[in-house]
Amino acid sequence: MNWSAEEKKWAAETAEKLKGKMRAVTERNRDKIPYTAVNGVFNDMGKDDIAWWTNGFWGGMMWQMHALTGEELYKEEAVKTEEKLDVVLMNDKGLDHDNGFKWLPTAVVNYKVTKNPASLNRAMLAAGNLAGRFNLAGHFIRAWNDNGTDDRRGWAIIDCMMNLPLLYWASEETGDPRFGQIARAHADRAQECFVRADGSVNHIVEFDPETGEMVRTYGGQGYGVGSSWTRGQSWGLYGFTLSYIHTKDEKYLNTARRIAHYYIANIPDSGKIPVDFRQPADCPWEDSTAAAIAACGLLELSKYVEERDSMVYRKTAMKLLQTLDAERCSWDPGTDELLEKCTAAYHDKEHEFPIIYGDYYFIEAVMKILEKELFIW
Ligand code: GLY
């Protein structure tokens, strides 16, 4: 990739800031698996909720920092996170469509780097379970498990596109096409039922679990039915790009581009991303994670299109990243979090707080431009 001098300069300078910040943060938080920070101090999901869907991202951050610096500290922490997740592999209720988010940035990347057989075993158990969630009638991977309230047997979510690389990897690793076949079948159905004509995406689609018919959509973590939850747009943009990378099927590239064009058209002049592109105009809530994930998707997408479009995607990614760097990153080495103003869901009580996957994707974006990324997806 021919990164511009400006892109390379920004990435090199940001990497230096990351090195200083992350060493202090990691040394202070050895043995934790963070999700959020309160008053600058990370919590520990190893104690609070080991099965939580975000528990692979700290491991992923550690692997990226290891790739950036070569320092053993980061690898040791990444391996600890991976090992702690073993209890989840023995807990049926802790396993769901997010197996990819948990084991791609931990076991799969460890296996790619070290060929550790225990990591291969973990990754294949996670992939087999993910494949087992495929609904044959509807050609979708079931999202969440039951919560005692909703009948979720027919629910699929756009986020799942980011988990499909666990299945693509399993087929690439074993030579057994079943995993990749399931990933492609889900991607095809998602393309048909999640992506709207204007390039925006639904968060949740409900199918009839017996017949496979599409029943309805839900607003999910966004503002409402028919709205445009920005992190969902980011998952779709990056997720379809990843399905293209793994299959080389142009239809996924075209879908990723449609979502990207919708996204780019809706970015406010400030470069700060709201929680939902269709939230009320007087609502100020932001989600910095959506910005970081979209930047990663755009940078990746820019590698597979002609120069003119590539420039548009890269320029947009740089605007998102430089806005985060200047206005939404806590560079103080005394605070644990990196990104500020992240939001899990529009209708939650709390908004705009640190969330670990925002930090992960910001680091991944920097690593892409530096060309030092450990490619996790
Ligand atoms: N995968 C759930 C979320 O993005 O919040």
97 lines ligand 1 (CB under 6 A): no
Rounded Cα gap, residues 125 and 294, in angstroms: 29
Nearest Cα residue to atom 2 of ligand 1 = 159
Give me the residue label for tokens 């920005």: 230
Q: Which atom of ligand 1 lies nearest, measured to the CA of 231? A: 4
Residues 6+ apart with CB under 8 A from 267: 273, 316, 319, 320
Q: What is the pLDDT, as a whole number, of residue 76?
A: 98
Q: What is the pTM of this model?
A: 0.98
DSSP string, 11-63: HHHHHHHHHHHHHHHHHHTTT---S-EETTEE--HHHH-TT-TTTTHHHHHHH
The pLDDT of residue 272 is 98
> What is the set of active-site residues?
98, 159
Could you give the CA distance from residue 296 to residue 183 in angstroms, rounded to a whole number?
21
* CA triple 66-72-78, angle to 5 deg: 65
pLDDT digits (tens, 9 = 90+) for 32-60: 999 999 999 999 999 999 999 999 999 99
**Average pLDDT score over residue span 130-146:** 98
CA 207 – CA 134 distance, rounded (Å): 12
Q: Tell me if 159 CB under 6 Å of ligand 1.
A: yes
Give distance in angstroms: CA of 53 to centre of ligand 1: 8
What is the predicted pLDDT for the residue at 78? 98
pLDDT for residue 210: 98
Residue 355: per-residue pLDDT? 98
Q: Which two tokens stand for residue 323?
A: 């806005």
Predicted pLDDT at 299: 98
**Ligand 1 centroid – CA 308 distance (Å):** 32
pLDDT of the residue at 306: 97
Cα(299) to centroid of ligand 1, in Å? Answer: 21
Q: Where are the alpha helices (DSSP H) in the chain?
A: 5-28, 45-48, 57-69, 72-84, 86-89, 99-103, 109-114, 117-131, 164-174, 178-193, 230-247, 250-266, 288-301, 307-323, 356-370
Provide the 3-class DSSP secondary structure of residue 215.
strand
Q: Give me the mean pLDDT over the 122-134 stretch.
A: 98
Q: Which atom of ligand 1 is nearest to the CA of 101?
A: 1
CATH (residue range 5-370): 1.50.10.10
Return the percentage of the chain with pLDDT > 70, whole number: 100
Distance 183 CA to ligand 1 centre (A): 19
Helix axes of 5-28 and 57-69: crossing angle, nearest 10 degrees = 120
Structure confidence at residue 26 (pLDDT): 98
Distance of alpha carbon 243 from alpha carbon 174, whole angstroms: 18
Give the number of the atom of ligand 1 that is nearest the alpha carbon of residue 345: 5
pLDDT bucket at 130, cuts 50 / 70 / 90? very high
The amino acid at residue 79 is V
* Local confidence band at 165 (pLDDT 50, 70, 90 cut-offs): very high
The DSSP call for residue 276 is B
- What are the tens digits of pLDDT across the range 200-225? 999 999 999 999 999 999 999 999 99
Cα(99)–Cα(79) distance, integer angstroms: 17
Q: How confident is the model at residue 178 (pLDDT cuts 50, 70, 90)?
A: very high
pLDDT at 27: 98
For residue 45, the model assigns a pLDDT of 98
Q: Does 221 sit in the ligand 1 pocket, CB within 6 Å? A: yes
Considering just the CA atoms, what is the radius of gyration of the chain in Å? 19
Q: Ligand 1 centroid vs 93 CA: distance in angstroms?
A: 17
Q: How confident is the model at residue 268 (pLDDT cuts 50, 70, 90)?
A: very high
- Please tell me if the CB atom of residue 344 comes closer than 6 angstroms to any atom of ligand 1: yes
The pLDDT value recorded for residue 4 is: 94
| Residue in 163, 204, 218, 235 to alter for ligand 1 test, most ligand atoms within 8 A of Cβ | 235
Element (DSSP H or E) covering residue 327: none
Identify the three-state secondary structure at position 156: strand
Mean pLDDT across the chain: 98
Q: Is 337 in the pocket of ligand 1 (CB under 6 A)?
A: no
Q: Which residue's alpha carbon is nearest to atom 1 within ligand 1?
A: 159
Identify which of 141, 145, 159, 201 to mutate to test ligand 1's pocket (most ligand atoms within 8 A of the CB): 159
Closest ligand 1 atom, residue 157 Cα: 1
Q: Which atom of ligand 1 is nearest to the CA of 53?
A: 1
Q: What is the mean pLDDT of residues 69-73?
A: 98
Q: pLDDT exceeding 90 applies to what percent of the chain?
A: 99
Strand partners, 140: 135
The CB of 231 under 6 Å from ligand 1? The reply is yes
Partnered with residue 141 across adjacent β-strands are 134
pLDDT digits (tens, 9 = 90+) for 141-155: 999 999 999 999 999
Cβ neighbours for 326, distance < 8 A, ≥ 6 positions apart:
none
pLDDT per residue as tens digits for the range 349-365 = 999 999 999 999 999 99
The alpha carbon of 204 and the centre of ligand 1 are apart by a number of angstroms equal to: 11
Q: 89, 50 in Cβ contact below 8 A? A: no
